[in-house]
Each structure stands twice: as structure tokens, then as C-alpha cells.
Chains A and B, each alone.
Chain A
């Protein structure tokens, strides 16, 4: 098995219960099971995680830098979309 046969995987780690899985990095592995084992060994050695997701990198579809203007720039001058214009009563607590 040469390296070129091993697909690339993206690793997502949940650092503790209640938090989201976050992208931790990527690695090579021959299949999903081994990708999880490798992710455990490479990314959770210092007690970083309680749950691991792996997905083959080829299954991730991404935006391209060329699309930046049409996708993201229009949101730049629309400050009113941020929910910062309301007075929240104290008794509501943390939102």
C-alpha cells in the first residue's frame, strides 16, 4: 500500500460535551475505521476530545476564492442584520 493509495481525510473533534465538532486537521488513512484510529492518535493525544468525526476530503464541497465578491461582500454593509439594536431585559439573562 503506497501513500498514493491512501485517501485524505478531514478530522473534526468535539472537545467536550455540548460543544460543536471543530475541524482539527487532516490525515491519510486507508479507510474510515483507520482514519478514526489515526485521528485519535494524531489529534487527541493531549486530551483534546470526546468525539471524532472523519470525512473523506473529496466529499467536502467548497466555495472558491473567485466567488468571494458575489457570496460574501454583499453582507459587509448590512449591519442591521446583527441583532445588536435591541435592548434585552436583564431578566432574560444570557442569550
Chain B
């Protein structure tokens, strides 16, 4: 596979992860369980939107067809998005959102730490800026996993249930295609197979401290690499893209 195409896909996937998860979190705006938590979730959402802007802008430049960050964010079809499936899952209750966020934050922290020393200077620069925010995201979600897990009987059961239901989506975070092998071989990004045991170890540490049980690795969902999404994704895109589809090129 040609390098530019692989780099485009890589930046696009990272950008899509941030865009879609950021959009999901934005749905909490005005609905947070507490005023303070509402603001916290939206801060995370805005950080992710910032990451996606940098990454999608770069993806557009690498592709070289003149597509802007907005073109990539708003004008693609469902199958053209390659975000990890876990990013698009509905928010559910607060514990569901925290469990989803925690699993992704651990992944992002490991990934972006590695990306800080990417041989691609632009990716390295974006990662160096993003990692500080990601460290905070993980601190925030970890704090809540510990408190909900080791909280009341109800909070414990509900977040345990959230992890049990989310678990089958975690394998997809580490899915690889041919273009990822080029990325790894050329020192652009880390080998997902190498990240996976470290991810599992960190998740296990926190869940154990939170008196929670790490779910068994069983059957895993897959498909994000080829643009196969969950049934929730179309609805998400409908809302995300509405304004640009209704009024193409609108700005404010």
C-alpha cells in the first residue's frame, strides 16, 4: 500500500475516533447529573473536538484532494467513517458513559504517548498537545470508575453491568488492516498488538481497585476498519451532519 494513502487512513481514523466520541459526549450538554459534571463532560468533548480538527485537517492535506476538516467531518457517508465502534455507542446512563470513556481514555493515553515520538512530525506535534488533555480525561474517568465501583451497591452493579456490555467492543480498538502494518513498519504509530496487553493491565488495575470484575474476553465485535458500524451510527450522523447537509458551506 502506498504510504500517503496509509497515512491518510491513519489520521482519518484517529480524527474520526475523536470526532465521534466528542459528539457523543456533547449530547450530555445540559443533561449532566450535576452542574459540575456537566461542565466536565463538555470540557472533554471540546478537547476531543480539538483533536479531531487537527487530525482531520492533516488527513485532508495528506490526501491532497483539497478536502477540509469540515468536508471530512460533515460530508462523508456512513461507510467512510472508520472510528472504533465503541466511540459511537449511545451514552446510556452516567455509568455507561464513564465506563466507555475510561476504556477509551486508557487506550488513548497509551496510543498518544507513543505517537508523541512518531516519525511523522505533524502526528508527533498533534499528539504532544493532545496527551496532556488525554491524561486529564483519564484522571477524570478513573476517579469516577473508582467511586461508582466502590460506591453503593447500586452504583457498583450498574457500572459493572456497563463494563460487561461494553467489553465486546474493546477488541475493535486494536483492529488492524494492511495500511496499519505500513504505519507500524514506518514508525508512524505503535503496533496495536503491543498496546493491547498494556491496555488490559491498566484497565485491570483500576477495575480491581474499584472492586469490579474485568469481563472475560469472549466474542468481539469488529468492522470499524472497513466502515461497518453499529445500528446507532446512522442516527448519530444524521444529527452531526444535519446543518452542513441542510445548508452546505454554512459558517458562523
Contact surface of A with B, Cβ cutoff 8 Å: 1, 3, 6, 27-31, 33-34, 37-38, 40-42, 45
Task: Give the contact-size bracket for chain B.
Answer: 10 to 19
B148 to chain A: closest CB distance in Å?
Answer: 9
Say whether, besides A30-B147, A45-B43, A38 and B155 are in contact (CB < 8 Å).
no
Min Cβ gap A35→B in Å is 9
B224 shortest CB reach to chain A, Å = 30
Q: Which of B36, B140, B143 contacts A28 (CB 8 A)?
A: B36
Q: Which residues on B are within 8 Å of A, measured CB to CB? A: 34-37, 39-40, 43, 136, 139-140, 143, 147, 151-152, 155
In the bound complex, CA of A6 to CA of B139 (Å): 20
Pairwise interchain contact B34-A3, C-beta atoms closer than 8 A: yes
In the complex, how many angstroms separate the beta carbon of A52 from the nearest chain B beta carbon?
A: 13
Separation of A27 and B143 alpha carbons in the complex (Å): 17
CA distance A31 to B39 in the complex (A): 18
A-B contact pairs, 11 of them (CB 8 A): A27-B35, A29-B36, A37-B139, A37-B140, A38-B36, A41-B39, A41-B43, A42-B35, A42-B39, A45-B39, A45-B43
CA gap between A40 and B139 in the complex, in Å: 12
A6–B136 Cα gap in the complex (Å)?
A: 22
Which single member of A1, A31, A41 contacts B36 (CB below 8 Å)?
A: A41
Inter-subunit contact B143/A37 (CB<8 Å): yes
What residue of chain A has the Cβ atom nearest to residue B146's Cβ? A33
Roughly how many angstroms separate A90 CA and B140 CA in the complex, as a whole number?
53
The answer to whether B155 and A27 touch across the interface, beta carbons within 8 angstroms, is no
Query: In the assembled complex, which residues on chain A have CB atoms less than 8 Å from the CB atom of B35?
Result: 27-28, 42
Across the interface, do B152 and A37 meet the contact criterion of CB distance under 8 Å?
no
Chain B residues near A27: list those with CB within 8 A. Answer: 35-36
Q: Across the interface, which residues of B come within 8 angstroms of A29, CB to CB?
A: 36
5 additional contacts (CB under 8 A) given A1-B155, A34-B143, A41-B40: A28-B36, A38-B36, A38-B37, A41-B36, A45-B43
The distance from the CB of B90 to the nearest CB of chain A, in whole angstroms, is 23
Q: Which residue of A is nearest B46, CB measured? A: A45
Interface centre among B39, B151, B155 (most CB of A within 10 A): B39
Specify the chain A residue showing the minimal Cβ separation from B152. Answer: A1
